[in-house]
Amino acid sequence: MADPALVEELRNGVRKICSRFPGSYWRDLDARRAYPEEFVDELTKAGYLAALIPEEYGGAGLGVTEASVILEEINRSGGNAGACHAQMYTMGVILRHGSEEQKRRYLPEIAAGRLRLQAFGVTEPTTGSDTTQLKTTAVRKGDRYIVNGQKVFISRTEHSDLMVLLVRTTPLSEVKKRTEGLSVLLVDLREAVGKGLTIRPIRTMMNHSTTELFFEDLEVPAENLIGEEGKGFRYILDGMNAERILIAAECIGDGRWFIDKAVRYAKERVVFGRPIGQNQGVQFPIARAHVQVEAADLMRFRAAELYDAGLPCGAEANMAKLLAADASWEAANVALQTHGGFGFAEEFDVERKFRETRLYQVAPISTNLILSYVAEHVLGLPRSY
Ligand SMILES: Cc1cc2nc3c(=O)[nH]c(=O)nc-3n(C[C@H](O)[C@H](O)[C@H](O)COP(=O)(O)OP(=O)(O)OC[C@H]3O[C@@H](n4cnc5c(N)ncnc54)[C@H](O)[C@@H]3O)c2cc1C
């Protein structure tokens, strides 16, 4: 169980930082599709992005429960934790599977904010959710790996020093199971760009700094292999429950922001001589969205508690992500509807947050894939793909 006093302290600390970055800050970045450098710097300096790094490596040594509260508060304040959330879970691959030398080399630097590990390269244009079919290869030549292939929607590569990259090191035809033969490389983006790696930004419906990557004989030192060659898929899966819980918390933050915003507006906006919120047609959808956010929050804390206790939590983490993403999307719709025409005006921030929270139906895992997981692994139904 997380210490309630510590959780409260974290909430207050993050809120204080977020209060210096109001809607106008995020709106301006959104218009320019720019990265929130100052915000990420402040969070890093205050140690929040190193929440999950153990104290012996310079981090705060907290659990996923506390880390999730940090991200929730960012989104609840009207900001977007998507700019920096990956640092919390990508470093987990090094922490759990890296050598002691790799941990000592990278984790304290990440914790101190001197290195950013914000990029996580898995998705590919031709294989999508079918991760084990990915086509990017790394072939060992002496003390290097030679990487060739392409990735898509890899976020924050232009704002990160390092990237955790999933590649195939043994061809599919030579492995017994398709989950074998994949490996994780730590790519130093500062050295790679222009020397075998080309980054091309993808402009999306929200400000997300996502990119397309092209690898042409990129050389990566063999010492940057994390763990054992061929076991990379398992390493990536290990981190996914944490990722699901953290993303669920962001959705909860979004949901609460939308509901606060809708309630405030419904009380203030007077039409037909009374506040619109006096009409049940306006207040019931807000109340329903609130109920759904609160219910999803219980599953998020349940999943986080199991994770922090080292217990299996695949089902709960997936269910938390699905429930929270659905709840935030419903709350987004309700907030937009409650604001009428003003919901579409940029200065209210509703349309921006609406666009931002829609992502969670698709990334980092789409709702259908979660339903497949629950059907197959929780309910024992036949595998559908
Ligand atoms: C803004 C943004 C940022 C991202 N950042 C990153 C990142 O940093 N790193 C990274 O690796 N990836 C990232 N992604 C990629 C993201 O994880 C994928 O978009 C997501 O996993 C879905 O893959 P896909 O887009 O290839 O969709 P597809 O796999 O092509 O699926 C398309 C649709 O079909 C459905 N579908 C597919 N197969 C099935 C099935 N068997 N049964 C039922 N439905 C199915 C899916 O649910 C989905 O709705 C990002 C994506 C976006 C949009």
> Which ligand 1 atom sits closest to the C-alpha of 151?
11
Residue 12 to residues 8, 46, 63, 70, Cα–Cα distance (Å) = 6, 13, 18, 10
CA of 213 to the centre of ligand 1 (A): 16
pLDDT digits (tens, 9 = 90+) for 150-178: 999 999 999 999 999 999 999 999 999 99
> Which ligand 1 atom sits closest to the C-alpha of 123?
11
Alpha helix positions (H), 309-346: 314-338
Residue found under tokens 């974290």: 10
CA of 122 to the centre of ligand 1 (A): 10
Q: Closest Cα partner for 4 from 69, 72, 55?
A: 69
Q: What percent of the chain has pLDDT over 70?
A: 100
Q: Which of 123, 131, 155, 206 to mutate to test the pocket of ligand 1 (most atoms within 8 A of CB)?
A: 123
Least confident of 89-93, 272-276, 341-345, 363-367: 89-93
Task: Identify the burial level of 34 via C-beta atoms within 10 angstroms of its C-beta, where 0-12 means exposed, 13-18 middle and 19 or more buried.
Answer: exposed
Res 22: pLDDT: 97
Q: Residues enclosing ligand 1, CB less than 6 A?
A: 120-123, 128-129, 153-155, 204, 208, 210, 359, 362-366, 368-369, 372, 384-385
For residue 328, which amino acid is it? S
> Which ligand 1 atom sits closest to the C-alpha of 208?
1
The pLDDT-based confidence of 322 (bands split at 50, 70, 90) is: very high
Q: Closest Cα partner for 322 from 353, 361, 356, 358?
A: 361
Average pLDDT in the 204-226 region? 98
Q: Provide Rg for the chain, Cα atoms.
A: 21
Average pLDDT in the 216-232 region? 98
Nearest CA to ligand 1 atom 26: 128
In the predicted model, is pLDDT for residue 76 greater than 80?
yes
In the chain, the domains with their CATH numbers are 4-112 (1.10.540.10), 119-231 (2.40.110.10), 234-378 (1.20.140.10)
Res 89: pLDDT: 86
CB neighbours of residue 298 within 10 Å: 11
CA of 385 to the centre of ligand 1 (A): 15
Res 15: pLDDT: 98
* Threshold 0.75, pTM exceeds: yes
Helices and strands per DSSP (H, E), number in the chain: 12, 10
Res 327: pLDDT: 98
Res 87: pLDDT: 86
Nearest CA to ligand 1 atom 30: 128
Res 366: pLDDT: 96
In the predicted model, is pLDDT for residue 106 greater than 80?
yes
Nearest CA to ligand 1 atom 11: 122
Res 360: pLDDT: 97
CA of 81 to the centre of ligand 1 (A): 19
In the predicted model, is pLDDT for residue 206 greater than 80?
yes
In the predicted model, is pLDDT for residue 2 greater than 90?
no
* 40: enclosing H helix or E strand: helix 37-45
Distance separating alpha carbons of residues 264 and 129, to the nearest angstrom: 40
Residue 164 to residues 86, 119, 161, 232, 238, Cα–Cα distance (Å) = 10, 6, 10, 11, 14
The pLDDT-based confidence of 238 (bands split at 50, 70, 90) is: confident
Give the residue numbers marked as catalytic.
243
CA of 97 to the centre of ligand 1 (A): 26
Nearest CA to ligand 1 atom 41: 385
Contact between 302 and 230 (Cβ < 8 Å):
no
Distance separating alpha carbons of residues 2 and 14, to the nearest angstrom: 17
